[in-house]
């Protein structure tokens, strides 16, 4: 017996966006599958792990409702990352207005799960890793807000320099300067210098 | 072998910022410099891996996003915008007009009353004349019946 061929969403990013603009939820689902990890990791850096789920979902829904504003000049990933950053900043502003604790403002929630070391390492190595993670977290607090933001987007959200520049709407040179200062300072703090 | 990378060059290398070709060549050859860069990157990688532990179940995450999507994407928003824009423009115009009026009223001299059109006065006079023509003014009926000749005869006789 023949079965009806299931609708296959296109694979090309532009075609996916065009289909989603036309209301094809399946096509948007493919875009979400491709970009949700990045969006979540970006949100994680701003609002912390507890709220990253909600913030990233909100950002992706916003992206869907604003697809008509996406003109394809930037990559879809950059565009959706920008929406994620703005969503998180709105959330943080709202929290400040409401007088809530802004412990997550720098994306660091001091959750014990953050200190989970690599399970493949032995006990000594795990203890060492736990210690360095803790020291790194502490050292990040000494960075300026902008340095910390760029550092985290680069290393924890795994964005390249151009993507960070586009997402924050600054020059790549500015990102390089901020990142260089951040790494230079962190290396000093961690005592990694020869 | 050339000199080792300095602090700033090591920071650049760790940050992924391109180095001068000869400095990059040194880094590729020098175990000590590479170890310094990698030590830092290991710390960062440990922290990043710890964050990965917090990531949600991606299938569930996708489901939650799809469940909350409005039933059509940009289209209804665009439709809403089409009727919303003129409405907002009208509201802005009214607000501006009222606001401007209030400002003028509050800060400027008292408004000069608009002169009433002359045609109104003419109309009033015409109405009064027609009324007078229809009804004589009470107690002036006697005057109405006296002619010029009567007056001449009366006053001329008295004067002479």
* Per-residue pLDDT, A174: 97
Structure tokens at A17: 């966006």
Question: In this structure, are A158 and A71 located in the same domain?
Answer: no
Residue B6: its chain A contacts at CB < 8 A? Answer: none
Question: In this structure, are A175 and A143 located in the same domain?
Answer: yes
- Cβ burial, residue A56 (10 Å; 0-12/13-18/19+): buried
Look up tokens 């802004």; give the residue.
A102
Residues 28-67 of B with CB under 8 A from A: 32, 36, 39-40, 42-44, 46-51, 53-56, 58, 61-62, 64-66
Q: Which residue has the higher pLDDT, B108 or A140?
A: A140
Q: Kindly report the number of other CB atoms within 10 A of residue A1's CB atom.
A: 2
Helix or strand (DSSP H, E) at B157: helix B148-159
Q: Which residue has the higher pLDDT, A6 or A39?
A: A39
Asked if B73's CB is within 8 angstroms of A64's CB, the reply is: yes
**pLDDT under 70: residue ranges of chain B:** 1, 72-86, 99-121, 128, 131-152, 154-160
Q: Report yes or no: A39 and A56 within 8 Å, Cβ to Cβ.
A: yes
Q: Determine, yes or no, domain membership for A27.
A: yes
Q: Determine, yes or no, domain membership for A93.
A: yes
Of A60, A155, A176, the CB nearest to B65: A60
Structure tokens at A171: 């020059």
Among A57, A86, A106, where does a domain finish? A106
Question: In this structure, are A118 and A192 located in the same domain?
Answer: yes
Q: Determine, yes or no, domain membership for A1.
A: no
Sign of CA dihedral A58, A64, A65, A67: positive
- CATH code (residue A44): 1.10.1740.10
Question: In this structure, are A17 and A94 located in the same domain?
Answer: yes
* Per-residue pLDDT, A37: 96
Asked if A190's CB is within 8 angstroms of B55's CB, the reply is: no
> How far apart are the C-alpha atoms of A157 and A38, rounded to whole Å?
6
**Which alpha helices (DSSP H) does chain A contain, by range?**
13-21, 25-47, 49-65, 76-97, 123-140, 145-155, 161-168, 172-190
Q: Determine, yes or no, domain membership for A2.
A: no
Q: Which residue has the higher pLDDT, A73 or A58?
A: A58
Q: Determine, yes or no, domain membership for A54.
A: yes
The count of structural domains within chain A is: 2
Q: What size, in residues, is chain A?
A: 194
Q: Determine, yes or no, domain membership for A132.
A: yes
Question: In this structure, are A26 and A94 located in the same domain?
Answer: yes
- CATH code (residue A191): 1.10.10.10
* Per-residue pLDDT, B1: 64
DSSP label at residue A158: -
User: How close B57 gets to chain A, by Cα (Å)?
Assistant: 10
Q: What size, in residues, is chain B?
A: 160
Q: Determine, yes or no, domain membership for A3.
A: no
Which domain, by its residues, includes A153?
A: 111-194
The ipTM assigned to this model is 0.81
Asked if B8's CB is within 8 angstroms of A183's CB, the reply is: no
> How far apart are the C-alpha atoms of A108 and A137, rounded to whole Å?
8
Asked if B62's CB is within 8 angstroms of A116's CB, the reply is: no
Question: In this structure, are A12 and A101 located in the same domain?
Answer: yes
Give chain B as a DSSP string: -PPPP-HHHHHHHHHTPPPPHHHHHHHHH-HHHHHHHHHHHHHHHHHHHHHHTT---HHHHHHHHHHTS-SSSHHHHHHHHHHHHHHHHHHHHHHHHHHHHHHHHHHSPPPPPPPPPHHHHHHHHHHHHHHHHHSPPTT-HHHHH--HHHHHHHHHHHH-
Q: Determine, yes or no, domain membership for B60.
A: yes
Q: Determine, yes or no, domain membership for B74.
A: no
Q: Determine, yes or no, domain membership for B114.
A: no
Residue A136: its chain B contacts at CB < 8 A? Answer: 43-44, 46-47
Structure tokens at B108: 């400027």
- SS3 state at A3: coil
Question: In this structure, are A64 and A150 located in the same domain?
Answer: no
Q: Determine, yes or no, domain membership for B94.
A: no
Asked whether the predicted pLDDT for residue A191 surpasses 80, the reply is: yes
Question: In this structure, are A118 and A43 located in the same domain?
Answer: no
**Per-residue pLDDT tens over the stretch A105-123:** 445 554 433 444 555 667 7
Among A54, A72, A106, where does a domain finish? A106
**Percentage above 90 pLDDT, chain A:** 68
Question: In this structure, are A115 and A95 located in the same domain?
Answer: no
Nearest CA in chain A to B14: A183
Question: In this structure, are A94 and A175 located in the same domain?
Answer: no
Q: Determine, yes or no, domain membership for B47.
A: yes
Asked whether the predicted pLDDT for residue A157 surpasses 90, the reply is: yes
Q: Determine, yes or no, domain membership for B145.
A: yes
Q: In terms of Cα–Cα distance, which of A51, A37, A146 is closest to A91?
A: A51
The count of structural domains within chain B is: 2
Question: In this structure, are A130 and A43 located in the same domain?
Answer: no
Residue B62: its chain A contacts at CB < 8 A? Answer: 29, 32-33, 36
* Per-residue pLDDT, B151: 59
**Per-residue pLDDT tens over the stretch B64-92:** 999 999 876 554 444 455 556 667 777 77
Asked if A37's CB is within 8 angstroms of B15's CB, the reply is: no
Q: Determine, yes or no, domain membership for B91.
A: no
Give the phi and the psi of residue B94 in degrees, each rounded to 5. -65, -45
Asked if A194's CB is within 8 angstroms of B36's CB, the reply is: yes
Q: Determine, yes or no, domain membership for A143.
A: yes
Among A106, A139, A167, where does a domain finish? A106
Q: Considering only CA atoms, give the Rg of chain B.
A: 50
Q: Report yes or no: A9 and A29 within 8 Å, Cβ to Cβ.
A: yes
Which domain, by its residues, includes B154?
A: 127-159
Q: Report yes or no: A36 and A57 within 8 Å, Cβ to Cβ.
A: no
Question: In this structure, are A100 and A138 located in the same domain?
Answer: no
Please state whether the predicted TM-score (pTM) of the whole model is above 0.80.
Answer: no
* Per-residue pLDDT, B2: 83
> How far apart are the C-alpha atoms of A44 and A156, rounded to whole Å?
9
Instruction: Determine the average pLDDT of the residues in A166-183.
Output: 96
**Percentage above 70 pLDDT, chain B:** 56
């Amino acid at each position: 017996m023949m079965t009806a061929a299931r609708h296959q969403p296109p694979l090309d990013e532009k075609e996916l966006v065009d289909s989603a603009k036309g209301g094809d939820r399946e096509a948007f689902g493919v875009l979400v599958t491709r970009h949700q990890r990045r969006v979540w990791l970006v949100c994680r850096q701003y609002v912390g792990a507890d709220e990253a789920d909600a913030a990233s979902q909100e950002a992706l829904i916003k992206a869907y409702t604003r697809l008509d504003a996406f003109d394809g000049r930037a990559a879809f990933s950059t565009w959706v990352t920008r929406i994620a950053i703005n969503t998180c900043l709105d959330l943080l502003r709202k929290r400040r207005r409401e007088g809530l604790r802004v412990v997550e403002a720098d994306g660091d929630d001091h959750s014990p799960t953050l200190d989970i070391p690599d399970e493949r390492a032995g006990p000594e190595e795990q203890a060492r890793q736990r210690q360095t993670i803790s020291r790194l977290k502490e050292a990040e607090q000494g960075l300026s807000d902008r340095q910390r933001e760029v550092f985290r987007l680069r290393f924890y959200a795994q964005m390249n320099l151009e993507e960070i520049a586009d997402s924050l709407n600054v020059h790549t040179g500015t990102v390089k300067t901020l990142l260089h200062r951040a790494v230079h300072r962190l290396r000093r703090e961690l005592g990694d210098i020869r | 072998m050339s000199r080792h990378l300095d602090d700033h060059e090591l920071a650049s290398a760790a940050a992924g910022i391109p180095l001068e070709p000869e400095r990059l060549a040194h880094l590729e050859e020098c175990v000590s410099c590479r170890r310094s860069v990698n030590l830092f990157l290991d710390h960062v990688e440990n922290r990043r891996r710890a964050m990965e532990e917090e990531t949600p179940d991606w299938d569930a995450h996708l489901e939650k996003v799809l469940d909350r999507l409005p039933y059509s994407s940009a289209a209804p928003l665009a439709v809403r915008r089409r009727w919303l824009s003129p409405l907002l423009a009208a509201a802005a115009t009214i607000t501006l007009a009222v606001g401007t009026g209030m400002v003028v009223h509050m800060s400027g001299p008292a408004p000069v009353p608009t002169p009433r059109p002359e045609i109104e006065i003419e109309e009033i006079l015409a109405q009064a004349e027609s009324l007078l023509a229809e009804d004589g003014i009470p107690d002036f009926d006697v005057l109405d019946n006296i002619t010029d000749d009567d007056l001449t005869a009366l006053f001329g006789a008295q004067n002479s």
